[in-house]
Amino acid sequence: MRQFDIIVIGAGPAGSAAATWAAKLGHSVALIDKATFPRNKLCGGLFTERSRAYYTEIFGQDFDLSRAVTRRDISFFYGGQELSKLQGVPPLHLVMRLDLDDTLYRHAIFAGAVDFTGRPISQLSNNTVTFRDGETLSAKIIVGADGVNSIVARHLFGTAFDPTTIGFGLEIEVPETTLPPQALPLRIDFAAADWGYGWSFPKQHSTTVGIGGVHARNSDMKSHFSTYLKTLGMKPSEIKFKGHYLPFGDFRRTPGQGHILLAGDAAGLVDPITGEGIAFAMKSGQIAAQAASEALKDGTENTALKRYQTGLKDMHRNLRIARALRRIVFSARWQQAFIQTFRRSGTVRMMYMRLLAGEMEYPELARSVLTRLPRYILNGFRRSS
């Protein structure tokens, strides 16, 4: 049986970050994925400045933007009507996950992680992983970074996520048009889904069009998507789309058990307003690896989870505030007031943009919303009387 300090299951943003960081700290690391890279992942591919900063910190170099589309303009719509067209917003980078995840995985292997990609798992215990071909690996600590349907989370808790709070997204990749990517509209449509939104994100050779929202509040997401595609001038009957769950505001308070830590989507770490998950996946992978390393160096593997939880404190606080604020953006009661304020106030639009682009964190936004709330409520009353 081959032995490692750390086994990382899943080589997406969370797993590749965890494996890279652990290997850089001098540990023996096995990086497992059922897929062979490059592999695709359903995603809008918005790579924020937050993602870029974490990428630089973890992988030791700036992100190569030559294969991304960087935009500083965006349009917002509500029910098909344009709310606002903004220029000079903080940079928004749009990447293909096929490229991004392959780059991240290669970093991990280059840093020294041993490659077990393309190897489906048949069995998992608290310290061992057995592949379908019968080979077994063992480690002192396991990091489960195997996404929203995590088998590691299922092993620990019996279920990967809570079906009453999970999000769901549908997407299509519209092939290259004759227009250059800088000329294609970059847009977000509030109300394309309930408790969610729609998007059209131009890439270098295609455009990703999708909708996502809280699954339990969208019993017919497909019909929402058909309506959205029609709004964009497409014929839904001719288009095949794909769907994927995304954690949307319901992270695991205790992200693991015993010697097993969960990172990224497996730990529910996605922004419940914007749907951003790549940055939190990479950062949580790094924090998990750091916690595992410190515990291993002290010879106290059983302290890794506590250390990891402490390291995640700021991220958890951020996501908790976002979850409280999202009522204002998405609930039927507040959404009209939010949309009116968004339409009228340049400050609110810029705050939303700084949030979307990863320049602002929720505690700062919450302070700003609280100082504006009385005016916001008063305007709501004036309009309804």
Residue 246 CB, nearest approach to ligand FAD (Å): 4
At 340 the three-state DSSP class reads helix
Q: Which of 4, 18, 19, 33 binds ligand FAD (CB under 6 A)?
A: 33
| C-alpha to C-alpha distance for 148 and 11, rounded to whole angstroms | 13
Q: Is the distance from CB of 291 to CB of 62 less than 8 angstroms?
A: no
Check binding of 264 to ligand FAD (CB under 6 A). Answer: yes
Cα–Cα distances in Å, from 196 out to 52, 102, 202, 266, 352? 24, 29, 20, 21, 15
Q: Which H or E run contains 88?
A: strand 81-94
Q: Which residues contact 120 (CB under 8 A, 6 or more apart)?
A: 34, 131, 132
Q: Which of 8, 25, 42, 348 binds ligand FAD (CB under 6 A)?
A: 42
Q: Count residues near ligand FAD (CB under 6 A).
A: 37
Query: Angle at the Cα of 215 (from 81 to 199), degrees rounded to 5?
Result: 35
Q: Identify the bridge partners of residue 234 per DSSP, sorted by sequence position.
A: none
Check binding of 8 to ligand FAD (CB under 6 A). Answer: no
Candidates 145-153, 312-320, 324-332, 360-368; binding stretch for ligand FAD (CB under 6 A): 145-153
Candidates 158-166, 183-191, 229-237, 258-266; binding stretch for ligand FAD (CB under 6 A): 258-266
Candidates 79-87, 141-149, 309-317, 373-381; binding stretch for ligand FAD (CB under 6 A): 141-149
Candidates 28-36, 288-296, 308-316, 333-341; binding stretch for ligand FAD (CB under 6 A): 28-36
Check binding of 281 to ligand FAD (CB under 6 A). Answer: yes
Q: Which of 52, 244, 326, 349 binds ligand FAD (CB under 6 A)?
A: 244
Q: Which residue is nearest to ligand FAD (CB)?
A: 277
| C-alpha to C-alpha distance for 48 and 58, rounded to whole angstroms | 15
Please, what sign has the CA dihedral across residues 362, 363, 365, 371?
A: positive
Check binding of 171 to ligand FAD (CB under 6 A). Answer: yes
Q: How many C-alpha atoms does 126 have within 13 Å on its Cβ side?
A: 8
What is the dihedral angle through the alpha carbons of 149, 150, 154, 159, rounded to the nearest 10 degrees? Answer: -30
Candidates 32-40, 65-73, 136-144, 291-299; binding stretch for ligand FAD (CB under 6 A): 32-40
Q: Is the distance from CB of 256 to CB of 177 less than 8 angstroms?
A: no
Q: Which of 19, 89, 96, 169 binds ligand FAD (CB under 6 A)?
A: 169
Pairing of strands 128-131, 196-202: unpaired
Residue 269 CB, nearest approach to ligand FAD (Å): 7
Q: Which of 21, 24, 31, 44 binds ligand FAD (CB under 6 A)?
A: 44
List contacts with ligand FAD (CB under 6 A).
Answer: 9-15, 32-35, 41-46, 121, 145-147, 151, 169, 171, 210, 212, 244, 246, 264-266, 270, 275-278, 281
